[in-house]
Amino acid sequence: MKRTEARKKALQALFQLDSTELSVEEAISHVLLEEEKTNAFLDQLVRGTTEHKEEIDTTLENKLENWTLSRLPKIERTVLRLAVYELLFMQDAPSRVVMNEAIELCKLFGDEKSSKFVNGVLSKFTEQ
Protein backbone atom coordinates (compact mmCIF):
# COMPACT_ATOMS: atom_id res chain seq x y z
CA MET A 1 0.00 0.00 0.00
CA LYS A 2 1.39 3.37 -1.01
CA ARG A 3 1.64 6.16 1.54
CA THR A 4 -1.11 8.21 -0.11
CA GLU A 5 -3.49 5.26 0.20
CA ALA A 6 -2.36 4.64 3.79
CA ARG A 7 -3.11 8.29 4.67
CA LYS A 8 -6.55 8.00 3.08
CA LYS A 9 -7.34 4.87 5.07
CA ALA A 10 -5.87 6.39 8.24
CA LEU A 11 -8.16 9.39 7.81
CA GLN A 12 -11.16 7.10 7.44
CA ALA A 13 -10.20 5.10 10.54
CA LEU A 14 -9.59 8.26 12.60
CA PHE A 15 -12.90 9.70 11.39
CA GLN A 16 -14.66 6.61 12.78
CA LEU A 17 -12.74 6.77 16.05
CA ASP A 18 -13.85 10.37 16.55
CA SER A 19 -17.49 9.37 16.92
CA THR A 20 -17.64 5.72 17.92
CA GLU A 21 -16.42 3.40 20.64
CA LEU A 22 -14.40 1.26 18.24
CA SER A 23 -10.91 0.15 19.13
CA VAL A 24 -8.02 1.23 16.91
CA GLU A 25 -7.79 -2.31 15.52
CA GLU A 26 -11.51 -2.37 14.68
CA ALA A 27 -11.38 1.04 13.00
CA ILE A 28 -8.42 -0.01 10.85
CA SER A 29 -10.05 -3.29 9.89
CA HIS A 30 -13.24 -1.45 8.84
CA VAL A 31 -11.36 0.62 6.25
CA LEU A 32 -9.38 -2.23 4.72
CA LEU A 33 -10.73 -4.22 1.82
CA GLU A 34 -11.24 -7.91 2.48
CA GLU A 35 -7.96 -8.97 0.87
CA GLU A 36 -5.95 -6.04 2.25
CA LYS A 37 -3.73 -6.17 5.28
CA THR A 38 -2.66 -3.19 7.31
CA ASN A 39 0.85 -1.91 6.85
CA ALA A 40 3.23 -0.33 9.32
CA PHE A 41 2.70 3.22 8.04
CA LEU A 42 -1.11 3.05 8.28
CA ASP A 43 -0.90 1.49 11.71
CA GLN A 44 1.58 4.12 12.92
CA LEU A 45 -0.57 7.00 11.61
CA VAL A 46 -3.74 5.80 13.32
CA ARG A 47 -2.13 4.72 16.59
CA GLY A 48 0.17 7.72 16.80
CA THR A 49 -2.56 10.25 16.10
CA THR A 50 -4.80 8.57 18.66
CA GLU A 51 -2.09 8.32 21.32
CA HIS A 52 -0.97 11.94 20.88
CA LYS A 53 -4.46 13.40 20.38
CA GLU A 54 -4.39 15.67 23.43
CA GLU A 55 -1.03 17.18 22.53
CA ILE A 56 -2.06 17.54 18.88
CA ASP A 57 -5.33 19.21 19.86
CA THR A 58 -3.57 21.65 22.20
CA THR A 59 -1.12 22.56 19.47
CA LEU A 60 -3.92 23.00 16.95
CA GLU A 61 -5.97 25.19 19.30
CA ASN A 62 -2.97 27.54 19.53
CA LYS A 63 -2.82 27.85 15.73
CA LEU A 64 -6.52 28.33 15.02
CA GLU A 65 -7.75 31.90 14.68
CA ASN A 66 -11.40 32.63 15.48
CA TRP A 67 -12.12 28.89 15.69
CA THR A 68 -12.13 26.21 18.31
CA LEU A 69 -11.34 22.63 17.47
CA SER A 70 -14.80 21.51 18.56
CA ARG A 71 -16.43 23.95 16.08
CA LEU A 72 -14.50 22.63 13.10
CA PRO A 73 -16.26 20.31 10.69
CA LYS A 74 -15.26 16.74 11.46
CA ILE A 75 -13.37 16.16 8.21
CA GLU A 76 -11.15 19.23 8.65
CA ARG A 77 -10.49 18.39 12.30
CA THR A 78 -9.52 14.82 11.41
CA VAL A 79 -7.28 15.83 8.50
CA LEU A 80 -5.56 18.43 10.69
CA ARG A 81 -4.94 15.92 13.48
CA LEU A 82 -3.46 13.42 11.05
CA ALA A 83 -1.21 16.00 9.36
CA VAL A 84 -0.07 17.56 12.63
CA TYR A 85 0.82 14.12 13.96
CA GLU A 86 3.05 13.60 10.93
CA LEU A 87 4.59 17.07 11.20
CA LEU A 88 5.34 16.84 14.92
CA PHE A 89 6.10 13.18 15.52
CA MET A 90 7.28 11.66 12.25
CA GLN A 91 10.36 12.93 10.50
CA ASP A 92 10.29 10.74 7.40
CA ALA A 93 8.15 12.93 5.11
CA PRO A 94 8.93 16.53 4.15
CA SER A 95 6.43 19.04 5.51
CA ARG A 96 5.45 20.08 1.98
CA VAL A 97 4.47 16.48 1.19
CA VAL A 98 2.43 16.20 4.40
CA MET A 99 0.66 19.50 3.64
CA ASN A 100 -0.06 18.53 0.04
CA GLU A 101 -1.43 15.14 1.07
CA ALA A 102 -3.68 16.81 3.68
CA ILE A 103 -5.00 19.25 1.08
CA GLU A 104 -5.71 16.40 -1.32
CA LEU A 105 -7.58 14.50 1.41
CA CYS A 106 -9.74 17.58 1.98
CA LYS A 107 -10.48 17.83 -1.73
CA LEU A 108 -11.44 14.15 -1.77
CA PHE A 109 -13.57 14.11 1.39
CA GLY A 110 -14.43 17.75 1.97
CA ASP A 111 -14.85 20.71 -0.32
CA GLU A 112 -12.77 23.51 -1.80
CA LYS A 113 -13.12 25.59 1.36
CA SER A 114 -11.88 22.65 3.44
CA SER A 115 -8.63 22.43 1.54
CA LYS A 116 -7.98 26.18 1.74
CA PHE A 117 -8.71 26.25 5.47
CA VAL A 118 -6.45 23.26 6.19
CA ASN A 119 -3.71 24.75 4.04
CA GLY A 120 -3.87 27.99 6.03
CA VAL A 121 -3.68 26.23 9.38
CA LEU A 122 -0.91 23.84 8.38
CA SER A 123 1.17 26.64 6.87
CA LYS A 124 1.56 27.98 10.42
CA PHE A 125 3.37 24.76 11.33
CA THR A 126 5.92 25.12 8.54
CA GLU A 127 6.73 28.82 8.83
CA GLN A 128 10.24 29.40 10.09
What does the alpha-carbon distance between residue 122 and residue 128 come to, in Å, rounded to a whole number?
13
Query: What is the rounded (10 degree) CA torsion for 2, 58, 16, 118?
Result: -60
> CATH number of the domain that 101 lies in?
1.10.940.10
Residue 128, pLDDT above cutoff 60: no
pLDDT number for residue 93: 81
Q: Domain count for the chain, please give it.
A: 1
Q: What pLDDT, in 10s, does the model give residues 3-44?
A: 999 999 999 999 999 888 888 988 888 888 777 777 899 999
Kindly tell me if the per-residue pLDDT of 109 is higher than 50: yes
Residue 112 pLDDT greater than 80, yes or no: no
Question: What confidence tens digit (pLDDT) does each residue in 73-85 have?
Answer: 999 999 999 999 9
- Per the structure, the complete domain to which residue 82 belongs is given by 3-126
